[in-house]
Amino acid sequence: MTSILIKNGIVVDPEQNINGEKMDIYIKDGKIVDECKADKVIDANGMTVVAGGIDIHAHIAGPKVNAGRAMRPEDMKHVRMKSGKFRCAMGGVLLTCPSIGYEYARMGYTTAIEPATPTLYAIHTHEELDSIPIIDKAALPLFGNWHLTFKFAAEKDVEKMKSFVAWAIERAKGYGIKVVNPGGVEAWMYGKNVHSLNECIPGFEATPAEVLTTLMKASIELNLPHKVHVHCNNLGVPGSAETTAETIELAKKIGEYCLHITHIQFNSYTGDTWKNMGSGAEELAKLINDNPVTVDMGQVIFGHTTTMTADGPFEFALFKLAKSKWINKDVEIETGGGIVPITYRAKSAVNAVQWATGLEFGLLVDPDKIVISTDFPNGGPFTSYPYIITLLMSKKFREKEIEEKGVNNYIEKATSLLSIETERTFYDIVKMTRTTPARILGLKNKGNLKVGADADVAIYPFNCNDMPDYERILKALENPAYTIKDGEIVVKDGEIVSENWGKTFWVKAKEQSEVIEEELESVFKYYTVSRGNYGVREEWIRRAEAIRV
């Protein structure tokens, strides 16, 4: 491994309260070091040096991502890069595995989290994660509709829930607890949904509120690095803002940080029909700022994309609206899923409100509490992060986009976007793409440039102390001068120059599966695989890194 000196760069690292200081960064053996003899010197004079970006929520691997690709050959025929020195990279919004790694690196991102993996199919998720070059990654197994989750939640048995969570995360080689529409996906097996946190889940004694509360407590007691990652009930429909506020209340009752609400934009609509739907972002942003929760944006990008989520009933509702293709999936006693292609149109009042709502959150929530995301591919491509960042940094750019795209003026009535003067500083942006996601994920060696941190670095060709106009910001963010991953230069001037293989993080929590032995035995009577064949072994993963708690 070569050692690198990044000389005279302007460093932004909120974790160390460094905001635009000219300094040198040394890299050796894949880590940031104090000082060393450098084989290679990068002259970063006039350029901004930050840690590699972290995507906290992007559907990048697993059976539903692959089913989406198969369902949309018209999106997959787009050629990004022909094979040669590197592998062929294909895809429009959906991407092949090589494309995913290359495109992240080309934006200066070096870590991404796959947020919805059925433990039963975790083997598929890891096979795909192992095919994504460059970036570090991790997968979150789904817990919110598992029969055993309902059982332990109904019994309010935190001890058993803890053992179950630790056991399942170990089997999935997963990183934390993902919950999607708790109870709703189970109800969907009978063509139904659940519509409030306190409604009983069909066939069980538990409510969504009890599922969330028990899982939050378990996540704290297990000391998981990443706490409960929730896609709330009632997602995507008018009135969802209320459910989100109630979900925040649940977290508040616990009293300490234990809840990350994902793609908050999709869960923040007021009104009771599509005709009077509006944004609940202003109220919710206050609640988020005042309570121990974090969120990611779930920004919508105008254009076509493919939605995919474990939220089967939501996808069915979307299918009825979009009238295009639809995949529905039942995952035994664990979860379900659906896939539907859609197009977000600037001229549509509903889509315009969605677009504006995401930006409201990005401008109103404390940068220590919000992460930039599109819920890839649900809101749009992750490759539009530079675009989203530029929108957040420039009111002029927001106005230009509204004007040029002809964004439906219903947003004037239904959202507060037009009255928000805030322009995010680059320091805020580094928080929202590096510092904050690293903290939420509990990845201490990521998202910062401290001595000892992983040498994942992005160098952008602008001076953050003298920010250029929005056009040049956008161009610079789309074309980093360098991306360094694990101490190796992988991107130069926006193009891939070499590729390596990132780590897959997983969490090994203290497991006492004997406490739930009886329950496990009973469910495995009904599985399509035997208990011995269930799950993923560490040695099957290319570069597994266990985090022991």
Partner 1 sequence: MGGGNLTIVIKPKREFEVCVEAEIVPGKTDFKVYLGKEVVPIEELFYVENIDDGEDRILLQGDFSRVKWIGKSMKGGEIIVEGNAGMHLGSFMEGGRIIVKGNADDWIGGMMKGGEIIVEGNAGNRIGCNYWGESKGMEGGKIIVKGNAGNYVGEKMCGGEIIIEGDAGDFIGTEMKDGRIVIKGKAGYTGWDMKGGEILVGDCELSPSFVKEGEVFKGDVNVKGNGSVKILKIN
Give me the residues that bind partner 1 (CB under 8 A), please: 71-75, 77, 82-83, 324
Q: Which does 103 bind (CB under 5 to 8 A by kind): Zn ion, partner 1, none?
A: none
The minimum distance between CB 376 and Zn ion, in angstroms, equals 8
Q: Which does 419 bind (CB under 5 to 8 A by kind): partner 1, Zn ion, none?
A: none
For Zn ion, the closer CB: 143 or 152: 143
For partner 1, the closer CB: 181 or 307: 307
Q: How many CB atoms are located within 10 Å of the residue 82 CB?
A: 10
Q: Which does 375 bind (CB under 5 to 8 A by kind): partner 1, Zn ion, none?
A: Zn ion
The minimum distance between CB 70 and partner 1, in angstroms, equals 9
For partner 1, the closer CB: 88 or 546: 88
Closest C-alpha among 305, 269, 396 to residue 72: 305
Q: Which does 282 bind (CB under 5 to 8 A by kind): Zn ion, partner 1, none?
A: none
Q: Which does 532 bind (CB under 5 to 8 A by kind): partner 1, Zn ion, none?
A: none
For partner 1, the closer CB: 89 or 232: 89
Per the structure block, which two tokens stand in for 485?
């991953």
Q: Are the C-beta atoms of residues 515 and 163 closer than 8 Å to each other? A: yes
CA distances from 410 to 279, 350, 415 (A): 11, 9, 8
For Zn ion, the closer CB: 232 or 489: 232
For Zn ion, the closer CB: 65 or 187: 65
Q: State phi, psi for 511 to the nearest 5 degrees.
A: -110, 135
**Which residue's CB comes closest to Zn ion?**
375
Region class of 447: left (phi > 0), else alpha (psi between -120 and 50), else beta: left
Q: State phi, psi for 542 to the nearest 5 degrees.
A: -55, -55
The minimum distance between CB 381 and partner 1, in angstroms, equals 17
DSSP 324: S
| Length of the chain in terms of residues written | 549
- In sequence order, which residues have a C-beta less than 8 Å from that of residue 265 and are 6 or more positions away? 281, 297, 298, 299, 300, 354, 357, 358, 361, 379
For Zn ion, the closer CB: 375 or 488: 375
Q: Could you give the CA distance from residue 305 to residue 122 in angstroms, rounded to a whole number?
A: 24
The minimum distance between CB 66 and partner 1, in angstroms, equals 15
Q: Could you give the CA distance from residue 517 to residue 160 in angstroms, rounded to a whole number?
A: 10
The minimum distance between CB 88 and partner 1, in angstroms, equals 9
Q: List binders of Zn ion among 367-406 (CB under 5 A).
A: 375
For partner 1, the closer CB: 78 or 543: 78
Q: Which does 488 bind (CB under 5 to 8 A by kind): Zn ion, partner 1, none?
A: none
Closest C-alpha among 272, 432, 249, 440 to residue 358: 432
The minimum distance between CB 201 and Zn ion, in angstroms, equals 21
Q: Is 221 exposed, middle or buried (0-12, 13-18, 19+ CB in 10 A)?
A: middle
The minimum distance between CB 74 and partner 1, in angstroms, equals 3
Q: Which does 170 bind (CB under 5 to 8 A by kind): Zn ion, partner 1, none?
A: none
Q: Which does 71 bind (CB under 5 to 8 A by kind): Zn ion, partner 1, none?
A: partner 1
* Binding track, positions 442-481, relative to Zn ion; x by CB under 5 A: ----------------------------------------
Q: Could you give the CA distance from residue 88 to residue 90 in angstroms, rounded to a whole number?
A: 7
The minimum distance between CB 102 and partner 1, in angstroms, equals 18
The minimum distance between CB 301 and partner 1, in angstroms, equals 20
Q: Could you give the CA distance from residue 403 to residue 415 in angstroms, rounded to a whole number?
A: 16
The minimum distance between CB 318 and Zn ion, in angstroms, equals 14
Alpha carbon 174 to chain centroid, angstroms:
14
DSSP H stretches of helix in 173-239: 184-188, 208-221
Q: Could you give the CA distance from residue 114 to residue 6 in angstroms, rounded to a whole number?
A: 31
Closest C-alpha among 129, 160, 132, 127 to residue 146: 160
For partner 1, the closer CB: 77 or 320: 77
For partner 1, the closer CB: 77 or 156: 77
Summarize as ranges the residues that interact with Zn ion (CB under 5 A).
375
